[in-house]
């Protein structure tokens, strides 16, 4: 939930900045948070480790209940899937970002993202959707290089069990408002 943001708000005076993402669970999320802090990224303490589904978007505060209903429906249509994080990537020179890459779970993220960014949250994105976990953003080139090398061997596997709606506080901190779980899937049994 980095720098890119758009407004869907019709009443800027009563707008709230939201984001929707798949949280990276601990211990991986906490580790990536500490690494982001170690690179000197000023946003490290404000943004939990995550995979963005909806980038920062201004919405009318009065629309939040309808947005939550939309997100609950999007989650209900989904299913749990595995995410495998492997190594690093970068969007340089287009954007000064270093990220941890997804080796598995891209299709799952794309399917969920398409459902999230529809209905009341339909909006154009500045870049094609590319699921990732940002670990360094808008830092000097040498620091971005260090972030890229430091996490090149990073590996994590976890099950995406849902996604969260985050609100951006007046203090600049992103906080979860509500988690939306995917339906539990049960192994099929054969007689």
**Below-50 pLDDT ranges, the chain:** 2-3, 188, 191
- Residue 146 and residue 77: Cα distance in Å, rounded? 40
Does the global pTM surpass 0.85? yes
| Token reading at 89 | 């990537």
CA atoms of 157 and 85, how far apart (whole Å): 6
Q: What is the pLDDT of residue 191?
A: 47
CA atoms within 13 A on the CB side of 65: 1
Could you report the per-residue pLDDT of 69-107, keeping only the tens digit for each? 999 999 999 999 999 999 999 998 888 899 999 999 999
Domain boundaries 6-180, CATH class: alpha beta
Three-class secondary structure assignment of 67-135: HHHHHHHHHHCCCCEEEEEEEEEECCCCCCEEEEEEEECHHHHHHHHHHHCCHHHCCCCCCCCCCEEEE
Cα angle value 169/45/126 (rounded, 5°): 70
């Amino acid at each position: 939930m980095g720098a890119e943001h758009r407004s869907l708000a019709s009443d800027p005076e009563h707008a709230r900045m939201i984001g929707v993402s798949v949280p990276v669970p601990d211990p991986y999320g906490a580790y990536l948070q500490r690494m982001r802090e170690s690179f000197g990224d000023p946003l490290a303490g404000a943004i939990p480790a995550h995979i963005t589904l909806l980038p920062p978007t201004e919405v009318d505060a009065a629309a939040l209940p309808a947005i939550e209903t939309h997100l609950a429906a999007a989650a209900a249509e989904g299913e749990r899937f595995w995410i495998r994080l492997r190594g690093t990537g970068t969007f340089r020179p287009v954007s000064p970002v270093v990220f941890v890459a997804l080796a598995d779970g891209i299709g799952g993220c794309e399917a969920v993202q398409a459902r999230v960014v529809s209905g009341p949250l339909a909006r154009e994105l500045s870049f094609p959707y590319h699921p990732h976990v940002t670990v360094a953003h808008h830092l000097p080139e040498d620091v971005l290089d260090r972030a890229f090398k430091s996490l090149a061997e990073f590996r994590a596997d976890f099950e995406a069990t849902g996604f969260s709606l985050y609100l951006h506080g007046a203090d600049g901190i992103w906080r979860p408002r509500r988690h939306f779980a995917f339906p539990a899937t049960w192994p099929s049994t054969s007689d």
